[in-house]
């Protein structure tokens, strides 16, 4: 295992943990409507993917 892979792995865990806390705290300020919460959590559930893809592509440079 190279250093980029290890760093990216810990970075992904850190980003997801902080992102989860942020999303939960923001959701406290949303109105209590089921449809609004559903759309919010669908968008929030997909929004973390680009950040993780950047970290994964950066870690892949270590393999080359």
Domain ranges of the chain: 3-60
The pLDDT value recorded for residue 63 is 67
The pLDDT value recorded for residue 64 is 59
**Alpha carbon distances (Å) from 61 to 2, 26, 38, 50, 52:** 10, 35, 37, 17, 15
| Residue 7 CB contacts under 8 Å (≥ 6 apart), including other chains | 59
SS3 content of the chain, % helix, strand, coil (to 5): 80, 0, 20
The residues of the chain scoring below 70 in pLDDT are 1, 62-64
The pLDDT value recorded for residue 6 is 87
């Amino acid at each position: 295992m190279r250093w980029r892979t290890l760093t990216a792995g810990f970075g992904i865990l850190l980003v997801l943990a902080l992102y989860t806390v942020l999303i939960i705290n923001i959701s406290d300020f949303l109105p209590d409507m089921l449809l609004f919460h559903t759309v919010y959590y669908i968008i929030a559930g997909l929004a973390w993917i680009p950040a993780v893809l950047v970290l994964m592509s950066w870690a892949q440079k270590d393999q080359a």
